[in-house]
Amino acid sequence: MVQSLNLSGIVNAFRVLWNPSLAMPHVIVEGKSLLYRKKVSDNLSASPKKDIRQINFANLKRLGQIKAIGFDKDNCLTAPYVSTIHPPFQEAWEECKSTFSKENVVIVSNSAGTADDKDGREAAKLEESLDVTVLRHQEKKPSGGKALADHMAPLPAHQIAFVGDRILTDVLFGNLNGNLTIWTRQVVTEQGDNKPAMMVKLYRLMSLYMGN
């Protein structure tokens, strides 16, 4: 599936210039918070994981009062354009679905479930593989928040978390819509990702600078 140019991402990037806080995630996954997991089996000498394996979903629900959670797909849950969970993430993914129940977990992708996904085939394949809903939406992130709000209704926006690896699509999407935003800094792989998306990732450096 060919992913079209995300004009919404380009246009909304300029909003960040006027309001940099829109690009600031509420949580950065790097292993320094009560929202992060710590297992006895973890190698404490290794660098902290910066992906969904580090998120403590139980604490997120209990302490953050989060009732539902949305995820980006490519490089957050799967490799780009792959419909199966990245194997090292399987345990964390099952924990997430068990914690929130799978009807309260949704994938918001800029490929599967969009107009680029002819007849919704990729979305259907992903739903079968990951066992959660893939949101059907016309506007690409960071636009299109109403589709997520409608899907999660009547939950208020602040009780929904959104997890993703891109500042100017995923984090901006969640912040524009009043969600708790969680940034997974470590991507699965750059291989297979489209060039515009890879260029957008360079803006992560800007977010890190603003966070210092």
**Domains of the chain by start residue, with CATH:** 25-37+49-211 (3.40.50.1000)
Per the listing, tokens 């990245």 go with 86
For the stretch 110-165, pLDDT in tens is 999 999 998 999 999 999 999 999 999 999 999 999 999 999 999 999 999 999 99
Asked whether the whole model's pTM tops 0.85, one would answer no
For the stretch 81-96, pLDDT in tens is 899 999 999 999 999 9
Q: Where are the alpha helices (H) located in the chain, listed in sequence order?
A: 7-18, 57-63, 90-100, 121-130, 145-152, 172-176, 195-201, 204-211
The DSSP code for 46 is S
For the stretch 29-65, pLDDT in tens is 975 555 665 543 344 334 567 899 999 999 999 988 9
Tell me what pLDDT residue 185 has: 84
Rounded Cα gap, residues 40 and 10, in angstroms = 43
**Mean pLDDT over residues 2-12, rounded?**
60
184 three-class SS? strand
Tell me what pLDDT residue 16 has: 84
The structure tokens listed for 24 are 């600031």
pLDDT band at residue 15 under the 50/70/90 scheme: confident
For the stretch 153-171, pLDDT in tens is 999 999 999 999 999 999 9
Strands (E) in 8-119, as ranges, are 27-29, 68-71, 105-107
pLDDT band at residue 183 under the 50/70/90 scheme: very high
